[in-house]
Amino acid sequence: MEDQPVKILIVDDDEVYRDVLRDAIGQENTELALAASGEEALELLESSPFDILITDLNMPGIDGLTLLKRARQLYPDILTLIITGYGSLESAVEAIRSGAYDYIQKPFRIDEVAVSTRNAVDRVRILRERQALLDELEKAYLRLQQLEGEVRKQGCREESEDETPWGGEGTLPKGRSRMVWLPGRTLPLDVLEGPKDAMAQVLTDLERLKELRRERIVDEAEFERLKKIILRNVDGVP
């Protein structure tokens, strides 16, 4: 997903400004669309998702502030850059409070537009990478839970086939797979010793999660939530 083009929608009722913005923004791996009004922009937004919205604040009909709010209803993560003229700073502040990512004041410099847009594009790509890592972690936890279920089923089968009665903490000498006792359950010893060691996987996932927190890819609340998911079905892990 992070390799997909960043989709940018430019909205201004002035054709000259639309063309200037398009030329200033042109970046590698971006996809641009232009709209001459808030109504046209809303139709485009309703038909296809966009990552970044760059809109003039003062337009007839649906103005930039209204468009910003409608866009965020459709796509809560969309980044919006507001273009505002002199004397409209109060409206720009209101737009920021309504969720705008940044604002640019007319008449603007080309390099100013380029920098603001590049920052927004970089932000989109960072968010994509972050989401991809979180999705990968979620899949890892599901694999871990599946392994836990398979280990428990195997443990029950091996224990029922063993002729030696269970005597508490320790291992059973007979059966196709030796068993080792952990608080609350038994596990096949070869599983614990093998490369797919469930406990080692837990520690690996925890270390990876700590690294994501150190890199500030996940915040403290997400760290605690994901840590609980890792440990949820793993008995005997400190």
Q: DSSP states of 204-218 as a string? A: HHHHHHHHHHHTTSS
Task: Specify if 1 maps to a domain.
Answer: no
Task: Specify if 125 maps to a domain.
Answer: no
End-to-end CA, the chain:
36
In angstroms, the CA 65 to CA 85 distance is: 14
Considering the domain architecture, whether residues 74 and 144 belong to the same structural domain is answered as no
In angstroms, the CA 23 to CA 21 distance is: 5
Task: Specify if 31 maps to a domain.
Answer: yes
Q: Which domain holds residue 138?
A: 131-231
Considering the domain architecture, whether residues 136 and 219 belong to the same structural domain is answered as yes
Q: Name the helix (H) or strand (E) containing 7.
A: strand 6-11
pLDDT for 173? 43
Task: Specify if 236 maps to a domain.
Answer: no
Task: Specify if 118 maps to a domain.
Answer: no
Number of domains in the chain: 2
Considering the domain architecture, whether residues 94 and 167 belong to the same structural domain is answered as no
pLDDT in tens, the chain (238 residues): 557 889 999 999 999 989 888 888 877 688 999 999 999 999 999 999 999 999 998 899 999 999 999 999 999 999 999 988 765 667 777 888 888 888 888 888 888 888 889 899 988 988 888 888 888 877 777 777 777 666 667 666 555 555 444 444 444 444 444 443 333 434 443 433 434 455 566 666 767 777 777 777 777 777 777 777 766 645 444 4
Task: Specify if 211 maps to a domain.
Answer: yes
Tokens of 98: 């309504």
What CATH number corresponds to the domain at position 48?
3.40.50.2300
pLDDT for 73? 93
For 53, the 3-state DSSP assignment is strand
Tokens of 128: 């994509």
Task: Specify if 124 maps to a domain.
Answer: no
